[in-house]
Amino acid sequence: MKLLLLAENWAPQVGGIENYLWHIAHFLALKGHEVTVIAPKGGRKERANRDKAEAAGQIDSSWSSVTFQKSTGGKGVKVIKKRFYRHLLRPRWWGLYRRISKLAGKERYDAVLCGKGLFEGLVGYLLKRKWGIPYAIFTYGMEIESWKKSWREKRKLYKVTQGASIVFCINDLTKDSLVSLGIDEKKIIKAWPGVDEAMFKQITEEDILGVLKKYEIRRPYVISVGRLIARKGFDVLIEAFAKLDQTQFGNQQLVIVGDGPQLAALQNGVESELIDLSVLFLPEVPNEDLPALYAGAMVFAMTPRELAGDIEGFGLVYLEAAAQGTPAVGTKTGGVPEAVVDGGTGILVEPEDAGAVKNAMAKIILDKKFREKLGEAAKSRARQKFAWGERILVIEKGIQRMAKKA
């Protein structure tokens, strides 16, 4: 099939949606589909990437496009970068629609995939009206709740979802939210994110010792990975970690991998808790080092909270850790209960409860048999249900059904 993916969230931006859409595009290409992505031009970092691609002869200057080819095969993904200009008298999506309408008519895509309901979904809606191309939208949770609070945005969202042939969602909470909007449940397909194949790499003790030396980490340690923002609840995790009796727990270290606007505040919080020697912040860690860091940890912990219109959509990092047999401590919020099976692959507690987080970490750390049982179950579940090679089949089947009906 010829597929057009509209993605406001795309590399070099970093985030859960960017990661999700990137994998969808590339795994659909690996399945033999012809995938074109329309994404916004970035700033300095984007220009640097463009220079590299131009030097490699990968630039189509007429459309500012970059074609990437997966080394494992497939037809590759054509990425067209255009600036999404704002206009005083017209909405932002109008400029995008004008730029790609002729392309869509010329190429006659079998389906349009919209990275979000708004604003990409509005473009999909207009392309369907003009060219008769069916479209699907991807939803994540927090954006739906936010848009529902505005009657104007809610009305646009309802129009877009009604016109869509398929609405993909990443968790049951988002599905319930869509149904409450009046969306036909039959057109909603739950499409969990997948775990990158690299996370399943077989890790040796030598690999673990190598990354521990590289980042000056001591064993035993608890690991957490994520963007340092308020919703992720790293402050709660640090408070919980400070409650651990280090004489009982073998002088544990907390390793926090990630960067974000809360980094300085969290570092100050660590100093105020007088545990600065036991908490290590690693703002920049390449993906290739993560499997060994996960594998060497006693437990993975991330404790997100719910903020107004902002919830944890899924929590893929729990499953990345699970791929290396590391059990998790998480919170009962958003899509986390679908990533972590409470009592099966980890322990879930209520958000904001540092005492409960501390108790959950302590139980896993101190009970070796329980820890190993959780770890084995976590690894098995991650491999069987969340490898991208399996997850893409759900999305592909939905797209094929949509194109067939068109």
Say which DSSP state 280 is in: E
The band of 88, judged by pLDDT with boundaries at 50, 70 and 90, is low
- Which of 90, 105, 324, 120 lies closest to 208, judged by CA? 324
CATH fold of 2-194+388-405: Rossmann fold (3.40.50)
DSSP readout, 99-118? HHHHHHHHHT-SEEEESSTT
Euclidean distance between CA atoms 373 and 393, whole angstroms: 29
Q: For residues 167 and 139, is the Cβ–Cβ distance under 8 A? A: yes
Find the range with the poorest average confidence among 59-63, 115-119, 169-173, 208-212.
59-63
End-to-end, the C-alpha distance of the chain in Å comes to 13
For the chain, the average pLDDT equals 86
Euclidean distance between CA atoms 298 and 294, whole angstroms: 9
Report how far apart, in Å, the C-alpha atoms of 132 and of each of 34, 112, 187 are.
19, 10, 18
pLDDT score for 321: 97
Query: Of 374 and 150, which is predicted with more confidence?
Result: 374
pLDDT score for 280: 96
Query: Hey, what are 305's tokens?
Result: 């909270």
Q: What is the mean pLDDT of residues 294-315?
A: 91
Q: Which of 2-11, 58-67, 211-220 has the highest mean pLDDT?
A: 211-220
Residues 223-252 as b/e (b if ≥16 CB within 10 A, e otherwise) read: bbbbebeebbbbbbbbbbbbebeeeebeeb
Residue position matching structure tokens 């719910």: 306
pLDDT score for 80: 85
Q: What is the mean pLDDT of residues 219-234?
A: 95
The band of 218, judged by pLDDT with boundaries at 50, 70 and 90, is very high
pLDDT score for 53: 41
Find the range with the poorest average confidence among 217-221, 243-247, 399-403.
243-247
pLDDT score for 90: 64
Q: Where in the chain is CATH 3.40.50.2000?
A: 2-194+388-405, 197-385
pLDDT score for 262: 95
Query: Of 309 and 357, which is predicted with more confidence?
Result: 357
pLDDT tens string 145-204: 767 677 787 888 888 999 999 999 999 988 988 898 888 999 999 999 999 888 999 999
Q: For residues 340 and 360, is the Cβ–Cβ distance under 8 A? A: no
Residue 310, SS3? strand
pLDDT score for 55: 41
Q: What is the mean pLDDT of residues 127-150?
A: 85
Reply yes or no on domain 197-385 having CATH 3.40.50.2000: yes
